[in-house]
């Protein structure tokens, strides 16, 4: 139990808006009104968030793993991060061991205040979960007359300045939900597993981004392409990375090595930084986060003995 900094009421925080960190001081608010009354114009962050969609229309490329560990890595560096699951499978919540009483459905369909849906997870990381109700949200969007792709952008307008990063974990399809995610995003990060079919998937993503620009009037830039499930012992992995480098050059991130620890972390309901902070997977995702934030390419030699154990 904590005490509300505005009205003195004792309560247990359940939502992200109920906690505010000002320098070294942490304040608590039992209601949105208390937060606004206490902080005034500082009630929410004033700078617009960097909004990133994690997308590949092919399944099995490590999208959710990348979304979770990018978000967790940014939070580990001190940034305020909101991770949004836009996939009805709800893998973000399952991987982190959380189940929100309210989900993205309630934001989209019911128009609920996002800060009453957001679940504080760890430190600076907050999450909007998803579940099977998003299938109904897809139907609801399909029945709208016009501007079906702008619903999520409008619903989240109130939180865009609270966070430094909004990360959207997108499902493997070109659904109306994904169109909404791309309409909200400024940039897209594309995880690509090191196999031939995944390379085909990248071309589909690039075509989708062109269509979004052409039909929705919203340009989304490619922040980077992330090779995943990289195994330095196989010609296929090395050839896949070489092919991607030929296409994307400086926008190609260093590969995420195939890792037992990365595969195990969701079953422990933890990020890779919590489950195995000294593993190859944690090393690779910390490098990805640094590259994403700083924009400076790094290089690591991928030896044959660094592919499966860590």
What CATH number does residue 198 fall under?
3.40.50.300
Query: Is 305 part of any domain?
Result: no
* 1 and 146 inside one domain: no
> Which residues form the domain of 256?
44-294
Say which residue, 45 or 130, is predicted with more confidence: 130
Cα–Cα distance list, 279 to 162, 259, 261, 308, 310 (Å): 32, 8, 7, 10, 5
Residue 303: predicted pLDDT: 44
Do 250 and 120 share a domain, yes or no? yes
- Confidence band for 20, pLDDT divided at 50, 70 and 90: confident
CA atoms of 273 and 285, how far apart (whole Å): 9
Q: Are residues 10 and 146 in the same domain?
A: no
Q: How far is CA 249 from CA 168, 243, 245, 253, 300, in A?
A: 25, 10, 5, 9, 16
Supply the pLDDT for residue 5: 92
Mean pLDDT of the chain: 87
Do residues 215 and 256 both lie within one domain?
yes
Domain count, the chain: 2
Q: Are residues 96 and 214 in the same domain?
A: yes
Tell me the mean pLDDT in the region 158-175.
89
Residue 206 lies in a domain: yes
């Amino acid at each position: 139990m904590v005490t509300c900094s505005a009205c003195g009421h004792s309560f247990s925080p359940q939502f992200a808006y109920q906690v505010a960190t000002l320098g070294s001081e942490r304040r608590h608010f039992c209601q949105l009104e208390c937060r606004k009354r206490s902080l005034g114009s500082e009630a929410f962050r004033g700078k617009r968030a960097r909004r990133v969609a994690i997308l590949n229309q092919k399944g099995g490329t490590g999208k959710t793993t990348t979304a979770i560990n990018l978000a967790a890595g940014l939070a580990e560096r001190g940034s305020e991060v909101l991770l949004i699951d836009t996939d009805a499978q709800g893998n973000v919540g399952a991987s982190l061991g959380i189940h929100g009483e309210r989900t993205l459905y309630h934001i989209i369909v019911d128009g609920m205040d996002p800060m009453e849906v957001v679940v504080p997870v760890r430190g600076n990381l907050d999450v909007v979960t998803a579940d099977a109700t998003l299938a109904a949200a897809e139907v609801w969007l399909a029945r709208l007359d016009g501007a079906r792709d702008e619903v999520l952008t409008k619903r989240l307008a109130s939180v865009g300045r609270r966070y430094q990063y909004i990360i959207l974990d997108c499902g493997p399809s070109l659904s109306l939900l994904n169109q909404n995610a791309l309409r909200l995003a400024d940039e897209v990060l594309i995880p690509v597993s090191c196999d031939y079919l995944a390379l085909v998937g990248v071309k589909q993503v690039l075509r989708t981004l062109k269509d979004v620009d052409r039909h929705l009037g919203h340009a989304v830039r490619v922040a980077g392409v992330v090779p995943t499930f990289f195994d330095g012992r196989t010609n296929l992995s090395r050839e896949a990375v070489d092919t991607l480098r030929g296409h994307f050059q400086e926008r190609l991130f260093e590969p995420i090595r195939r890792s037992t620890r990365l595969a195990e972390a969701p079953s422990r309901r933890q990020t890779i930084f919590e489950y195995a902070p000294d593993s190859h997977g944690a090393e690779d995702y910390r490098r990805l986060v640094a590259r994403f934030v700083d924009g400076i390419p790094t290089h690591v030699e991928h030896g044959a003995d660094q592919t499966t154990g860590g």
